[in-house]
């Protein structure tokens, strides 16, 4: 090659050169804590390049009341009503997770009827949580009113059941260590059966309205993608992880309670996007209905609490235990250390929605800020549990 | 009829904690490991890990083909303040020419430390938990532990929470800031010796305990 065709050095620019630190000026937006789409007092520090998210840091703690410290200063039983306030949509599953951890710590057995009641109430909780979450998600996407009202109509029926059983619609405070607080009232099982029988019709109606909707598909498919490997490594659990294809459902893995007696499947997603997270919840509700049908058919008569379980003066032996269940939002765990005293020495809640927020930034990067809203909506957080 | 508890409390379906410990010391000869007993019916014993090898041990546990502990479910702190611990020691005592073992309770002063506890499970193999513990030197100036966030991303927010509430500093954490308390906050509320701020507000009609507190705040105004 000869050097004759060498280009002469240029001393001009054809186009104005952009600065190295970003092509346009970045805009910092503090989204929340009062933004209606943040599901409570939650804030996101978002850095935008035009409409694209280039950085997103969740900021929370506005509802922090140090639940763990309060629980360490009081007896084991008096924390039970306070667990209702963690994820206030799913008080019964919170109760169950705490009761399970204490039962492991103290070695208590649960009578069979109580196990069935626990499964029935937990699956009803899952139904109403997923139904409402879909309603909220649609609200975030701009379907103002209708889907949420449909969801709340169904939730109301389930809350009526909870009220008949526990006396409270949301703050149920129902489970006890080694069983449940009260037995089912007369006619409760028939009422639950009626709701469970009618629910598939509602789901079909809901799906007809939503699943094939062009706007929902355009807004949610391919948005907020969570890769499978990241989901496992970041400890994501529940429907968010299963939508990313992680086959991990504690009802199948741990078989806690009596879940090994029911036949049901664990739906898994292929894409890990917002649409999959929506669809996984619909499918999980259908599986929950299967469990409910079996549980309502098989529930035996008998005692509802371990006769050896002490309510007052309860002092487990020194030691520690970690108990976990598949709550509607993911793995809800309680880690307890006892020093032999009446209060737990260490009381820790492993909150699923707190840990599921770890990957919010990864899911939102590169999408628009409007997509960040629905991505957050599809993760399903409750700030009572995130902030504790 | 009571339902039987499932076997999930035992460690893994392949190995005991002793076998895991032996394998780690085989792969990482310098590692100092100790099995922490647990007398509760849960039987969840844990593995106390030294600071220098914590990262390597965590990576080994995650990547080992048998264990595949790819999922760190729970990471939390525990504050163990200085305390007198009663321990039972078996002591040979010679009475009437016969040697007998007699149990004796000995009071020992345990120096205070902070602890980080990690509950590891396997999504791939569906077993667990293997529990790791890391202990700081004391509760005041030697409070740095190696971060396990580079191994398991799920520790990112949880280690921030431990830093916030317990005051353990994690070396190697990508973004160690307060997470639940606000940035200007100084203390660590989950410490056992944390004193709550005195946020008494003026109360026009105090009574009982509130009256006692009102007296310390507004002695001239309170009628007794």
Query: What does the pLDDT look like over B118-138, one tens digit per residue?
Result: 999 999 888 878 899 999 988
CA angle A50–A51–A55, rounded 5-degree value: 90
pLDDT for the residue B66 = 82
The larger pLDDT score, comparing residue A72 to residue B128, is at: A72
CA distance, residue B32 to nearest chain A CA (Å): 23
- A359-378 pLDDT tens trace: 998 998 888 988 888 898 89
pLDDT of amino acid A22: 54
User: What's the pLDDT score for residue B7?
Assistant: 38
Task: Say whether pLDDT at A199 is over 90.
Answer: yes
- Look up residue A237 and give its two tokens: 């659990």
Q: What is the mean pLDDT of residues A212-235?
A: 89
The partner residue sitting opposite B153, judged by closest CB among A234, A246, A387, is A234
Chain B residues with CB-CB distance to A71 below 8 A: none
Q: Strand pairing partners for B109? A: B84
Q: Quick check: A2 pLDDT over 70?
A: no
Indicate whether B100 pLDDT > 80: no
Assign domain A67-387 to its CATH superfamily: Cytochrome-c3 Hydrogenase, chain B (1.10.645.10)
Average pLDDT estimate for B178-192: 88
Q: What pLDDT does B9 receive?
A: 44
Q: What is the mean pLDDT of residues A201-215?
A: 89
List the single best residue of B69, B81, B123 to mutate versus A (max A Cβ within 10 A). Answer: B123
- Tell me which residue in B2, B154, B178 faces A355 most closely, judged by beta carbons: B154
Residue A115, chain B, CB below 8 Å: the answer is yes
Q: Considering only residues A307 and A207, tell me which one the structure prediction assigns the higher pLDDT.
A: A207
pLDDT at B92: 74
Domains within chain B, CATH numbers bracketed:
7-79+114-187 (3.30.460.80), 194-224 (no CATH)
Segment A32-50 shows an average pLDDT of 82
- The predicted model gives A16-41 an average pLDDT of 73
Q: How confident is the model at residue A119 (pLDDT cuts 50, 70, 90)?
A: very high
Does the pLDDT value for residue B88 go beyond 50?
yes
For position A4, what pLDDT does the model report? 61
Distance CA A177, CA A105 (A): 10
Question: Is the overall model pTM greater than 0.90, yes or no?
Answer: no
Q: Tell me, what's the pLDDT at A121?
A: 93
Tell me what the mean pLDDT of segment A21-38 comes to.
Answer: 75
Does the beta carbon of A341 lie under 8 angstroms from any beta carbon of chain B? no
Could B123 and A354 be called an inter-chain contact, meaning their C-beta atoms sit closer than 8 Å?
A: no
- DSSP per-residue string spanning A266-317: ----SS-SHHHHHHHHHHHHHHHHHHHHHHHHHPPPS-SB-TT--SSS--PP
Is residue A23 very low, low, confident or very high in pLDDT (cuts 50, 70, 90)?
low
Closest CA of chain B from A9, distance in Å: 45
Burial of B57 (0-12, 13-18, 19+ CB in 10 A): buried
Percent of chain B whose predicted confidence (pLDDT) is above 90: 22
pLDDT of residue A10: 61
Residue A17 predicted with pLDDT over 90:
no
Nearest by CB to A319, which of B39, B72, B119? B39
Chain A environment of B72 (Cβ under 8 Å): 235
Interface contact A335, partner B, CB < 8 A: yes
Shortest alpha-carbon distance between residue A319 and chain B (Å): 5
For range B37-44, the mean pLDDT: 82
* Least confident piece of the model among A13-17, A148-152, B181-185: A13-17
Stretch B89-109: mean pLDDT, rounded? 77
Residue B124 is predicted with a pLDDT of 87
**Interchain contact, A322 vs B129, CB within 8 Å:** yes
pLDDT band per the 50, 70, 90 thresholds, residue B224: low
- Cα(B123)–Cα(A229) distance, integer angstroms: 11
The residue among A326 and B203 whose pLDDT is bigger is A326
- Crossing angle (nearest 10°) for helices B54-63 and B17-27: 110
Confidence band (pLDDT; 50, 70, 90) for A283? very high
A83-113 CB burial, b ≥16 within 10 A, e <16? bbbbbebbbbbbbbbbbbbbbbbbbbbbbbb
User: How large is the average pLDDT for residues A155-164?
Assistant: 93
User: Quick one: pLDDT band at residue B5, thresholds 50, 70, 90?
Assistant: very low
Q: Say if the Cβ atoms of B73 and A60 lie within 8 Å.
A: no
The complex's ipTM works out to: 0.84
- The CA distance from A176 to B65, in Å, is 40
- C-alpha to C-alpha distance for A198 and B189, rounded to whole angstroms: 49
Pick the residue of A303, A322, A351 with the most B CBs within 10 A to test the interface with B by mutation.
A322
pLDDT at B83: 83
Arithmetic mean of pLDDT, A262-273: 90
Q: Tell whether the model's pLDDT for residue A282 goes beyond 90.
A: yes
Per-chain mean pLDDT for chain A: 88
| Residue in B6, B153, B157 nearest the CB of A254 | B6
pLDDT surpassing 50 at residue B81 = yes
What's the pLDDT tens digit per position in A318-358? 889 999 999 999 999 999 999 888 999 999 999 999 999 99
State the first-to-last Cα distance of chain A, in angstroms, to the nearest integer: 72
pLDDT at B183 over 90: no
More confident residue, B39 or A241: A241
pLDDT of residue B14: 62
**A346-350 and B33-36 beta bridge pairing:** unpaired
Q: Which long-range contacts (CB under 8 A, 24 or more apart) does A188-193 make?
A: A188/A161, A188/A164, A189/A296, A189/A299, A191/A161, A191/A164, A192/A120, A192/A124, A192/A161, A192/A292, A192/A296, A193/A296
Beta bridge partners of residue B115, listed in sequence order: B78, B135
For chain A positions 179-238, those within 8 Å of chain B (CB to CB) are: 230, 232-237
Chain CA centroid to CA A103, Å: 23
Numbered residues of chain B with Cβ closer than 8 Å to any chain A Cβ? 1-3, 5-6, 8-9, 38-42, 44, 70-74, 76, 78, 117, 119, 123, 126, 129, 131, 152-158, 165, 178-182, 189-190, 194
- Residue B1: its pLDDT value, please? 37
pLDDT class of A5 with cuts at 50, 70, 90:
low
User: What is the pLDDT at residue B223?
Assistant: 62
pLDDT band at B6 (very low <50, low <70, confident <90, very high): very low
Cβ–Cβ gap A337/B41 under 8 Å: no
State the pLDDT at residue A20.
Answer: 65
* pLDDT computed for residue B12 by the predictor: 53
The length of chain B in residues reads: 224
Q: pLDDT at position A310, please?
A: 78
List chain A domain ranges.
67-387
Share of chain A above pLDDT 90, in %: 45
Rounded Cα–Cα distance for residues B114 and B140 (Å): 9
Of B40, B119, B157, the CB nearest to A317: B40
What pLDDT score does B2 carry?
A: 40
User: What does the pLDDT read at residue A304?
Assistant: 87
pLDDT at B4 over 60: no
Average pLDDT over residues A117-132: 93
Dihedral angle at the C-alpha atoms of B176, B179, B185, B188, nearest 10 degrees?
Answer: -80
Chain B nearest-CA residue for A71: B190
For residue A280, pLDDT over 80 is answered with yes
């Amino acid at each position: 090659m000869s050097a004759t065709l060498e280009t002469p050095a240029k001393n001009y620019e054809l186009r104005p050169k952009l600065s190295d630190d970003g092509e346009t000026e970045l805009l910092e937006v503090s989204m929340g804590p009062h933004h209606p789409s943040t599901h409570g007092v939650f804030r996101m520090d978002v850095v935008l390049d035009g409409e694209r998210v280039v950085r997103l840091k969740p900021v929370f703690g506005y509802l922090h009341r140090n639940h763990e410290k309060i629980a360490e200063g009081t007896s084991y039983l008096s924390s039970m009503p306070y667990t209702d306030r963690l994820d206030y949509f799913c008080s019964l599953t919170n109760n169950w997770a705490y009761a399970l951890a204490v039962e492991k710590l103290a070695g208590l057995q649960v009578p069979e009827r109580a196990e069935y009641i626990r499964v029935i109430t937990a699956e009803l909780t899952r139904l109403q949580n997923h139904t409402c979450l879909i309603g909220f998600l649609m609200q975030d996407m701009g379907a103002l009113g209708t889907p949420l009202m449909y969801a709340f109509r169904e939730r109301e029926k389930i809350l009526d059941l909870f009220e008949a059983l526990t006396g409270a619609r949301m703050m149920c405070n129902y489970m006890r260590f080694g069983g449940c607080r009260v037995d089912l009232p007369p006619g409760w099982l028939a009422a639950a059966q009626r709701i469970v029988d009618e629910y598939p019709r509602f789901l079909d109606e809901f799906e007809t309205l939503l699943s094939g909707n062009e706007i929902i598909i355009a807004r949610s498919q391919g948005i907020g993608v969570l890769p499978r490997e990241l989901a496992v490594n970041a400890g994501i659990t529940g429907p968010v992880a299963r939508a990313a294809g992680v086959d991990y459902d504690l009802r199948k893995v741990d078989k806690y309670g009596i879940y090994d007696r029911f036949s049901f499947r664990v739906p898994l997603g292929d894409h890990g996007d917002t649409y999959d997270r929506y669809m996984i919840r619909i499918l999980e509700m259908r599986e929950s209905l299967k469990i409910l049908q079996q549980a309502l058919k098989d529930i035996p008569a008998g005692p509802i609490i371990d006769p050896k379980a002490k309510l007052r003066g309860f002092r487990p032996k020194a030691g520690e235990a970690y108990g976990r269940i598949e709550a509607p939002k993911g793995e809800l765990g309680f880690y307890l250390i006892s020093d032999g005293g009446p209060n737990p020495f260490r009381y820790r809640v492993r909150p699923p929605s707190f840990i599921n927020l770890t990957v919010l930034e990864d899911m939102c990067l590169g999408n628009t800020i409007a997509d960040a809203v629905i991505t957050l909506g599809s993760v399903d957080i409750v700030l009572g549990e995130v902030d504790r | 009829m009571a339902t039987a508890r499932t076997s999930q409390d035992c460690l893994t379906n392949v190995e005991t904690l002793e076998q895991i410990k032996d394998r780690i010391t085989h792969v990482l000869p310098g590692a100092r490991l100790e099995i922490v007993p647990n007398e509760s019916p849960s039987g969840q014993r844990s593995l106390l890990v030294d600071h220098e090898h914590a990262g390597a041990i965590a990576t080994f546990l995650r990547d080992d083909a048998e264990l595949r502990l790819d999922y760190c479910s729970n990471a939390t702190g525990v504050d163990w303040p200085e305390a007198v611990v009663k321990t039972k020691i078996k002591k040979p005592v010679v009475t009437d020419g016969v040697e007998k073992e007699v149990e004796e309770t000995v009071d020992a002063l345990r120096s205070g430390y902070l602890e980080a506890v990690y509950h590891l499970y396997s999504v791939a193999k569906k077993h667990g938990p293997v529990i790791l513990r890391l202990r700081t030197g004391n509760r005041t100036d030697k409070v740095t532990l190696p971060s396990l966030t580079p191994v398991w991303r799920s520790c990112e927010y949880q280690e921030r929470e431990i830093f916030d509430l317990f005051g353990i500093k994690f070396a190697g954490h990508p973004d160690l800031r307060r997470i639940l308390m606000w940035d200007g906050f100084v203390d660590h509320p989950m410490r056992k010796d944390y004193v709550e701020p005195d946020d008494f507000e003026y109360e026009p009609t105090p009574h009982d305990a509130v009256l006692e507190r009102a007296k310390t705040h507004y002695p001239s105004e309170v009628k007794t």
